Chains A and B, each alone.
Chain A
Amino acid sequence: MAKVLNIAPVSRIEGHAKIAIHLDDNGNVENTFLHIQSLRGFEKFIEGRPAEEVPRIVNRICGICPWMHHLASNKAVDSAFGATPTPTGHKLREMCQVMAHINDKILHFFFLAAPDFVLGPDADYSVRNIMGLVKAAPELAKQVVKMRQLGQMMLDKFAGKAIHPVAGVVGGFAKPMVEEERKELLQGTRTLLDFGCYALDFAINNVFAKYMDIIGDLGAIKTGFLGMIDREDGSLRLYDGQLRLMKSDGSFVDFEGDDYIDYIGEHVEPWGYSKMVYAKSWKEGFDMALTAPKGIYRVNTLARINVCEKISTPRAQAALEAFRSSFGRPAQQTLLYHYARLIELVYSCERTIELLEWEGITDPNVRAKVEPKAGRGVGVVEAPRGTLIHDYTTDENGCISGANLIVGTTHNIAPMNMSVKRAASTLIKDGVYSEGILNQVEMAVRAYDP
């Protein structure tokens, strides 16, 4: 008899979602849906707020990546007010953003994703989690907690708040860095870099090698990719650069974030609150068909690793080369998001060190003069979950009169739906399913770190 399996809540992800698997009379998958369950309405309730206050309101969109919203917002307000942050203000913002990436990647890989790999996808749900990881690998768990805490507290101490930050301000940064702070941050980041390199090796040897068959297949789909690159040399960028939209055959166009509206659009399905972003400029419409998807591209770690020409820091570049020699470019396997995430972990540590070693980083001139006024500004950064776009219009008082936000995860909603369908259709046959099988369907979502 036909029935619906409701996997709710989708767990060990950072948002509110439900997977519905519709089975036909023979117990085979008829259709699947990833329903996004929650809508708060930031685009609307920031209207009327003084624009310089908005970076400390929209950070509440996500408590895991508040720095990303905080800084995309600051960039948008800079632009609407016609302000150019001082070089040091810019670099302090970037440093905080890249440091936030470090903590996010440790959190996602070890706290959320690793239990599936270390304890196994079929392990009982009561142990397949960070608490189980503590019992199965106590030394590793202790180290992970310690490193994540180190990263969080470095950011918290320097910028006042790690969660829901306030130190990025229109025109730059709220406080300069003094030499003592620089030294302490540098020492901490070097420790994090060692851990990042260890984490990548650990995952290559103990996770990716062991689960290569699952990695090649689970939730695998073929799509395009979008991510930020350096304007000069096409290397990976997280804070500032241009965007590259790549088709699945590897051909691409590059564009400035300001022009996003010419390249991407948002499709709405009646069964989920999240919009589905797609490549409007490909002029093929929107279709999530597994065999011939239309307009579908992905963002987040794997996308960034695919679209960039190279990585500007040595250890991450070496890891990228090894990755490309194994999986090619663009790599499509969904579970490789985890691998790409750890390459970015190494890059984020190296980049933080680079910024801390930049001679101007302790310059006291951290904020440019700003005048609230009417204008429009688009701010783009790469959040852990993908390309993040804040687009504001301000009135003559410098208050928000209109806003459009395209949040990282929304680019991946359509691909996640496809990966769920692919995983469920492959794994569930003739009415045979189990907790372990359904967890594997969730693993296809978890890889995207939504």
Chain B
Amino acid sequence: MAVTAALEWLGSCSGCEIAILNIGEDLLPLITETLDIVHAPLLMDHKYFGQCGEGVALEIPDAVIGIVTGCVNNREHLEVLQEMRTKCKVLIALGTCATHGGIPALMNGQDQQESWQGIFTTVSTDPGAEIPDVEVPPPLDRVYACDEKVRIDMQLPGCPPNPEFIAEVIVSLVEGRDPILPSKSVCDTCLTKREGKGTVDKVKRFIENVEFEPGAPIDEMRCLLEQGYMCMGPVTAAGCAKRGVPGCISARVPCRGCFGPVRKGGNQLLDMMNGLASNGIDYKSVVDRRSILRFTGAHGRLRPVKKHVAREKS
């Protein structure tokens, strides 16, 4: 007997949904036999206000499993999230936007009203345009992760999340057992060669390629932190690896922390700066340190920079 499931996306990019489709050969049995999908805007046509759009209240059908992606940044997101919570027995926050705010929560580092004004007054925008406010959901005061607004039963971060673990979470729920998920850091699971930090005392911007032998296995490449690049592997939750190597590292590119902090409730910025400092690396050499929180700006982590108020002359 298939288990009912509802999928929803809030402030999102659809990357999580594409990650679901990337499950591969298990996808079809999963979405046609294991699950009975009753609502999923990307894949099927169940409507909020009845199939002919005559209803007044937003409704999502009852489901055992609910999967929600994206951050919460406007009133419609909030309404949909609350309806999902009401209708789903188990609610999963999928992807780093849903779990930690994700990239959209970079907006929390700025004055939202001012920024939105700016968006509607760019050089190519017709003069006199104003922020739309008719029949569009008004923004919330800032960008929230899902668990700041409703109770979440399971968090599965990743930008995008790993298809293997999406399948594992769904299958484990159906089988009534705990899912087997990674708990270590990217660094703990990285195969690059470590020889000690050597003479590195500053971090380099990623404007030249790292050193490696093309085609050689990853364990022959030196750790990117040891090569002097800021790699957020030590403070970031593992889970991105497919084919045994963390995603960005396999592209020979340093980690930027897209699975969120490895410690529950951890702060990637503080942890990374501590890590650099304790290794004698000047953390001030990191240009734009705030962007270390680029995936985790919800939960009050990123706030607008306070403006200096000019002191009145007495």
> Contacts A57-B294, A130-B31, A145-B27 known; A370 to B288 CB distance under 8 Å?
no
In-complex Cβ contact of B126 among A38, A131, A266 (8 A): A266
In-complex Cβ contact of B258 among A145, A164, A371 (8 A): A164
Interface residues on chain B, size class: 35 or more
In-complex Cβ contact of B15 among A60, A261, A371, A399 (8 A): A60
B294 → chain A closest CB, angstroms: 7
Query: Are A111 and B21 within 8 A (Cβ)?
Result: yes
Q: Which residues from chain A contact B206 at a C-beta distance below 8 Å? A: 52-53, 169
Query: Are A39 and B207 within 8 A (Cβ)?
Result: no
The distance in angstroms between the C-alpha atoms of A270 and B126, with both chains bound, is 13
Q: Which residues from chain B contact A208 at a C-beta distance below 8 Å? A: none
Query: Are B208 and A367 within 8 A (Cβ)?
Result: yes
Chain A, residues 1-31, CB within 8 Å of chain B (1/0): the string is 0011111111111111011110000000000
In-complex Cβ contact of B124 among A20, A125, A397, A404 (8 A): A404
Where the two chains meet, the residues of B that have a C-beta atom closer than 8 Å to any C-beta of A are 9, 11-19, 21-22, 24-25, 27-28, 31-32, 37, 41-49, 51-55, 73-74, 76, 102-104, 106-107, 109-110, 112, 115-116, 118-120, 122-126, 129-130, 132-137, 139, 159-160, 205-210, 212, 214-215, 240, 242-243, 247-253, 256, 258, 287-288, 290-291, 294
Interface centre among B102, B119, B139, B206 (most CB of A within 10 A): B119
Q: Which residues from chain B contact A21 at a C-beta distance below 8 Å? A: 53
The number of chain A residues with a CB under 8 A from chain B is 115
The distance in angstroms between the C-alpha atoms of A160 and B253, with both chains bound, is 9
Query: Are A370 and B207 within 8 A (Cβ)?
Result: yes
Query: Are B115 and A45 within 8 A (Cβ)?
Result: yes
The distance in angstroms between the C-alpha atoms of A63 and B19, with both chains bound, is 9
> Contacts A8-B49, A44-B110 known; A166 to B253 CB distance under 8 Å?
yes
The distance in angstroms between the C-alpha atoms of A324 and B214, with both chains bound, is 45
The distance in angstroms between the C-alpha atoms of A125 and B40, with both chains bound, is 12
> Contacts A35-B136, A56-B256 known; A266 to B73 CB distance under 8 Å?
no
Query: Are A57 and B103 within 8 A (Cβ)?
Result: yes
The distance in angstroms between the C-alpha atoms of A57 and B258, with both chains bound, is 10
Query: Are A48 and B21 within 8 A (Cβ)?
Result: no
The distance in angstroms between the C-alpha atoms of A174 and B250, with both chains bound, is 10
Q: Which residues from chain B contact A170 at a C-beta distance below 8 Å? A: 207
Q: Which residues from chain A contact B258 at a C-beta distance below 8 Å? A: 164
The distance in angstroms between the C-alpha atoms of A239 and B46, with both chains bound, is 37
